[in-house]
């Protein structure tokens, strides 16, 4: 039996995933979480075989939760989900230790395939996304200015592009406002932008957020 922890801030989405996964005789959803903070607590309590985790959640967020779970539980196997199928989010999640990445736009059967693959010790990336990653690497797109950002800078960048304030980001990521301010300065220098509007435009252009 594959024991799964579902992490998504939308109850309707979790319900849909639960029904889909439990249609497979060998899968059992043993717990749910609606935030990155809760996901870390629930993982320690349940030690599931696979964590199915949305990356774009309020508060700590999926990338930070992935980072913390893997730091405290190196054996954790995480399947990252995103509403976006851009290579950058996938590449970052895989770097942080995710064993799979799946777009929420994928066919329902892909979720079952991904969970069983990750639980079995393998890695899973949607075929279309894997092709994008490969083409990016061949064409050098994976070396854009955004790729120069550290993992923490990238997370701050995406939150800023979505309109979050420095103080809100500091609270969510458990950082001081001055530390986030330093990240913001470095982000602007690396990306060659001067204000939040330009950050947002750059994020939209790369498919990291929707217009």
Q: Which domains does the chain have, with CATH numbers?
A: 2-138 (3.40.50.2300), 144-205 (1.10.10.10)
Which pLDDT value is given to residue 27?
Answer: 95
| Calpha distance 127→106 (Å, rounded) | 10
Tens-digit pLDDT string for the chain (211 aa): 999 999 999 999 999 999 999 999 999 999 999 999 999 999 999 999 999 999 888 778 888 899 999 999 999 999 999 887 777 888 888 888 999 999 888 888 899 999 999 999 999 998 777 777 777 666 554 456 787 888 788 889 988 988 889 999 998 888 899 999 999 999 999 888 888 888 899 888 877 777 6
CA–CA separation, 122 and 148 (whole Å): 29
Query: Inter-axis angle of helices 177-191 and 166-173, to 10 degrees?
Result: 110
The pTM of the full predicted model, rounded to 2 decimals, is: 0.76
**Dist. CA 154–CA 20, nearest whole Å:** 32
Quote the CA–CA distance of 72 and 210 in Å, as a whole number: 33
Three-state DSSP at 29 gives strand
Q: What is the pLDDT of residue 140?
A: 57
Angle at the Cα of 138 from the Cα atoms of 137 and 139, rounded to 5 degrees: 95
């Amino acid at each position: 039996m594959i024991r799964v922890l579902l992490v998504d801030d939308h109850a309707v989405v979790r319900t849909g995933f639960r029904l889909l996964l439990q249609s497979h005789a060998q899968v059992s959803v043993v717990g749910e979480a609606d935030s990155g903070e809760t996901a870390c607590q629930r993982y320690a309590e349940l030690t599931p075989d696979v964590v199915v985790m949305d990356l774009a959640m309020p508060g700590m967020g999926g990338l930070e939760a992935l980072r913390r779970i893997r730091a405290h539980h190196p054996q954790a196997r995480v399947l990252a989900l995103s509403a976006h199928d851009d290579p950058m989010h996938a590449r970052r999640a895989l770097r942080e230790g995710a064993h799979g990445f799946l777009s929420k736009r994928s066919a329902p059967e892909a979720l079952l395939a991904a969970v069983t693959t990750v639980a079995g010790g393998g890695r899973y990336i949607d075929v279309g996304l894997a092709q994008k990653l490969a083409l990016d690497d061949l064409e050098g797109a994976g070396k854009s200015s955004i790729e120069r950002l550290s993992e923490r800078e990238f997370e701050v960048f995406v939150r800023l592009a979505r309109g979050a304030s420095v103080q809100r980001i500091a609270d969510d990521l458990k950082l001081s406002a001055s530390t986030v301010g330093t990240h913001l300065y470095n982000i602007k220098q690396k990306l060659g932008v001067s204000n939040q509007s330009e950050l947002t435009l750059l994020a939209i252009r790369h498919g990291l957020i929707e217009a």
